[in-house]
Structure 1
Amino acid sequence: MAKKLYRRLFSIPVVLAIAFGLISCESNPRSAQPDTHHSPVRSAHGTWVEESFQTAVVNIGLKELGYTIETPKELDYASIYLSIANQDIDYSVVYYDRGYESFFDAANQNNQLERMGQIIPPGTQGYQMDKKTAHEYGITSLQQLQDPQIATLFDSNGDGKADLAGCNPGWACGTIIEHHIETYGLKNTVEQTQGNYTALLQNTITRYQQRQPILYYAYNPHWIFAVLKPNEDVVFLEVPFTSLPEDEEMGDLTEDDTTFEGKNLGWPSIGQKFVVNREFVDHHPMAKRWFELVTIPVADMNEVSLAIKDGKNTPEAISSLAQEWVSDNQAQFDQWLVEAKEAK
């Protein structure tokens, strides 16, 4: 199972045990009425700012459907799941395809939770390098960095090894990168550079602008994909076979799980679903249908992530970004509203 690795992929602390102490064991249910909209819809998201944007888009649609909206709460993930199960919150956009089973299962003792929809489709992750160097030297696979002459192309500190921009110390992705370096026979030629992930990427962008070869790990959605675009600026590198750390319970993944567009990238894709209170959606079919329909493309999420990174990170700016996204996708948004209203 992948659960242990991806809880920390976005640098979010996991405090499941603490959450049980934060939320009362007594639920605080409200009487659910079929689509009368008298009670505000309550939502929550984590500390990843992009989730507040996603929640804002969803709430714009719910408001158009006639619901009143309560200001979303910011909570840790375990608390979100417990709050939804206790009927203190109605929904959240924070069910990621891998790594959140433990939160879901721990909170779902009374079968109050349901996963649905696909707010963000599965995004890729893996190793990327600049397209120019890849074409010039015929590099398609990470394993080719076993060749010292290839590896030194990416040596920025003079130690003779390729410097692979990786993850923050303590992030699970760093563990996987180290596993790959060992498993693919790269210990003598490749070294992961760890530090602040954003700073590592900024340095990578600077090197690219200086026309130097670059090699780095990236996950999608993330703003880096809006700056260094796959197949235009950079390319993904294949791995020779799928291998993930057994001690991190990743042994159930196969090559099919880590292959994207015919390339084995060595990492599984991660999508994002809604987690909802079952009783709420049973009594509110329009809201349920809305959750099933609304989705934000990964490419759009990358652009929003870049705008947030560049300073549009206040509640007012996030609200403006959400309104802009709806306006840019008005025809599709309106069609979703029509379909949701038909579920009444």
Structure 2
Amino acid sequence: MLKLKRTIPLFVLLTSSLIACQTTPPSEDNTSQSTQKVTVRTAHSSWIEEHFQTEIVKIGLEKLGYEVETPKEIEYPALYISLANGDLDYSIVYYYPGHKEFFENAGGEDKLEAVGTITADGTQGYQIDRKTAEQHNITNLEQLKDPKIAQLFDSDGDGKANLVGCNPGWACESIIEHHLDAYELRDTVEHDQGQYTALLANSVTRYKEGESVFFYAYNPHWIGATLKPEEDVVWLEVAFTDLPTKIAENMEKDTLVEGKNLGFPKTEQRIATNKQFLAENPIAKSWFELVQIPAKDINEESLRIKEGENKAEDIRRHAEEWVEKNQDLFNSWLEKARNQ
């Protein structure tokens, strides 16, 4: 009897130890993969619309049981290097094919993997105000080789057209610089660079004052909701497609948009991930493959940001509102991710 009395506590002790050593149970969302202890790291650039998209993806990961750190702000191409080195796990900033060179230079498919399509068929090119276009019959970028045409867009008095262009380091910067040579515009067009959003806001002010404007445009972005194509502005065509070699090599689609050659490839926004993180987290991978945000929704968000709702808490609230508005679809993505 003494032996039996001593054996029972030992059995209880062993059983308790086994229970204590078990893995953390699935999250309250009944996730099949235990993710409660997985901390995820992400980043976006200073392009503020990326904050909104990052938050939507982040909300989904949180619903799936992940702990997502506050997103960092890192400019590309450095952001891709952080992903490849394992300092980050994912980012929604992969604009294909424009960022393909950044992706490859950071280690390519040995270290990184592109997943899903956040937004398909982003459009980019050159726009001028409709009034000037119609008054002078301007339809093609090459017409700005004519000094008289170029001077219509001269905002600093040096006789050259002022083209509001892209921040140094952006993929669109290399295309614009290439175009200035390919279309022989160096003598008549000046590429204004700095903070793209601030320069663009200045163009909107000039437009409202009745001045001619000339700028690089990307859709989705607030500019498309502020100066509407075919109403306020028009796209300029190019006579032929001519892109930097590395971008042209990776281009899977042509540069035609609704029958016009805009000179820039259509863009898909995808999620760039650290390959090891993706292999270890199949639920996260499934989520990345499923989530999509329409361009029109990003345009609306971009306009809200421009109109002053631009703080981190504002953008988080916007993301939560977007999830609520699309709740059934969002929940279906979560369910598919859990059951991958």
TM-score range, shorter chain: 0.7 to 0.9
1:320 Cα deviation from its structure 2 partner? 0.7
CA deviation profile, 1:64-94 (whole Å, cap 9, x unmatched) = 33x1323234164677656656766543323
For 2:293, which of 285, 291, 296 is the aligned residue?
Answer: 296
1:237 Cα deviation from its structure 2 partner? 0.5
Which whole-Å CA distance do the structure 2 matches of 1:305 and 1:58 have between them?
17
Which whole-Å CA distance do the structure 1 matches of 2:143 and 2:149 have between them?
7
For 1:38, which of 36, 39, 53 is the aligned residue?
Answer: 36
Query: What residue number does 2:8 align with?
Result: none
- SS of corresponding position for 2:200: helix
Which whole-Å CA distance do the structure 1 matches of 2:138 and 2:87 have between them?
53
Give the letter for the 1:339 counterpart: K
Query: What residue number does 1:183 align with?
Result: 182
> 2:44, 2:93 within 8 Å by CA — same for their partners in 1?
yes
> 1:241, 1:255 within 8 Å by CA — same for their partners in 2?
no
Give the letter for the 1:203 counterpart: N
Which whole-Å CA distance do the structure 2 matches of 1:193 and 1:80 have between them?
25
Q: How many residues align?
A: 309
Which whole-Å CA distance do the structure 2 matches of 1:162 and 1:187 have between them?
10
Alignment of 1:208 with 2:178, yes or no, is no
> 1:81, 1:104 within 8 Å by CA — same for their partners in 2?
no
**Once structures 1 and 2 are overlaid, which stretch shifts more, 120-129 or 77-86?**
77-86
> 2:40, 2:66 within 8 Å by CA — same for their partners in 1?
no
CA deviation profile, 1:109-163 (whole Å, cap 9, x unmatched) = 8x45422101232422211011233234332211223344433433344554433
Which whole-Å CA distance do the structure 2 matches of 1:331 and 1:322 have between them?
15
Question: Over aligned residues, Cα RMSD in angstroms?
Answer: 3.5
Query: What residue number does 2:69 align with?
Result: 71
1:224 Cα deviation from its structure 2 partner? 1.9
Query: What residue number does 1:163 align with?
Result: 162
Please tell me whether Structure 1 or Structure 2 has the larger radius of gyration of its CA atoms: 2
Query: What residue number does 1:96 align with?
Result: 95
- SS of corresponding position for 2:139: coil
Identity of aligned residues (%): 50
> 2:91, 2:272 within 8 Å by CA — same for their partners in 1?
yes
For 1:272, which of 262, 269, 274 is the aligned residue?
Answer: 269
CA deviation profile, 1:24-60 (whole Å, cap 9, x unmatched) = xxxxxx99x9612332340311342433322221122
Consecutive unaligned residues in structure 1, runs of 5 or more = 1-29
For 2:323, which of 319, 323, 326 is the aligned residue?
Answer: 326
> 1:255, 1:264 within 8 Å by CA — same for their partners in 2?
no
CA deviation profile, 1:301-325 (whole Å, cap 9, x unmatched) = 2332333344433332221121122
**Once structures 1 and 2 are overlaid, which stretch shifts more, 331-340 or 116-125?**
331-340
Which whole-Å CA distance do the structure 1 matches of 2:187 and 2:277 have between them?
56
TM-score normalised by the chain length of structure 1: 0.74
Which whole-Å CA distance do the structure 2 matches of 1:197 and 1:186 have between them?
21
Query: What residue number does 2:18 align with?
Result: none
Consecutive unaligned residues in structure 2, runs of 5 or more = 1-22, 27-31
CA deviation profile, 1:237-295 (whole Å, cap 9, x unmatched) = 0011122345xx44537795322222211122333212334555455444322211101
Matches within 5 A, 1:88-237: 89-97=88-96, 98-103=98-103, 106-107=106-107, 111=110, 113-168=112-167, 173-174=172-173, 176-237=175-236
Give the letter for the 1:142 counterpart: L
> 2:220, 2:299 within 8 Å by CA — same for their partners in 1?
yes
